A and B are shown apart, each in its own frame.
Chain A
Amino acid sequence: GAGVSQSPSNKVTEKGKDVELRCDPISGHTALYWYRQSLGQGLEFLIYFQGNSAPDKSGLPSDRFSAERTGGSVSTLTIQRTQQEDSAVYLCASSSRTSDWNEQFFGPGTRLTVL
């Protein structure tokens, strides 16, 4: 595909359940980012992967949140024991050296609703 894809597009879950959100970055993009956007708010950085370097996890709000990136491509964001305040749109982005890293290409997001 030409762009960043995310799945599922919508996820409704019950409080306390675990969820996994998937991101497929643009092929060849070595930098991958996860952001969270609560209703009517700006984007909040969660985690950043760059090649084989250790990820920047400084934005993860709690130890219930984790992410991995397998094979330098697909990434999964996992939220354990979901809480209602986790409800938000989770956006993934990727970038590459050819755009001087600066332009980030965003996926359509996953809207998570925790009941």
Chain B
Amino acid sequence: SQQGEEDPQALSIQEGENATMNCSYKTSINNLQWYRQNSGRGLVHLILIRSNEREKHSGRLRVTLDTSKKSSSLLITASRAADTASYFCATGQGAQKLVFGQGTRLTINP
């Protein structure tokens, strides 16, 4: 069963706006990751946040983690058309399988 649940399922915004996606999970984790998927094929790793971290930045990406609420958010600032993709959160325990959410489909309108 899927551990992560992303919210919203779909998001459509104008280019230049910020996009926020949320993820909730059920069990204890040691890290949470966000991946991007273009055109329903291979996934690209975006960022990893560990359970003892609360916030992490990478370029235009900002991830937060609240372990007390078992939730994470991904913020993409100053969105671009190329950011159009599906975004998945995934939880894992080191060298083991990742458990993915259902994903948020993000559309950036020019």
Contact = CB atoms under 8 A, between A and B. Distances in A.
Given A42-B100, A43-B100, A102 B40 contact: no
Most buried by A among B4, B35, B100: B100
Interface string B12-56: 000000000000000000010101000011111100100000000
Interface string A84-115: 00000101010101001111111111000000
B41 A100 contact: no
A48 B97 contact: yes
A24 to B, nearest CB: 13
Nearest to B4: A42
A70 interface: no
B17 to A, nearest CB: 24
B96 interface: yes
Chain A interface residue bracket vs B: 20 to 34
A56 interface: yes
Interface residues of B, number: 25
Contacts of A83: none
Contacts of B101: 42
Contacts of B40: 37, 39, 89
A35 B98 CA distance: 9
A9 to B, nearest CB: 9
B97 A45 contact: yes
A50 interface: yes
A105 B42 CA distance: 9
9 contacts: A33-B97, A41-B103, A42-B102, A45-B97, A48-B96, A50-B95, A59-B97, A104-B98, A105-B45
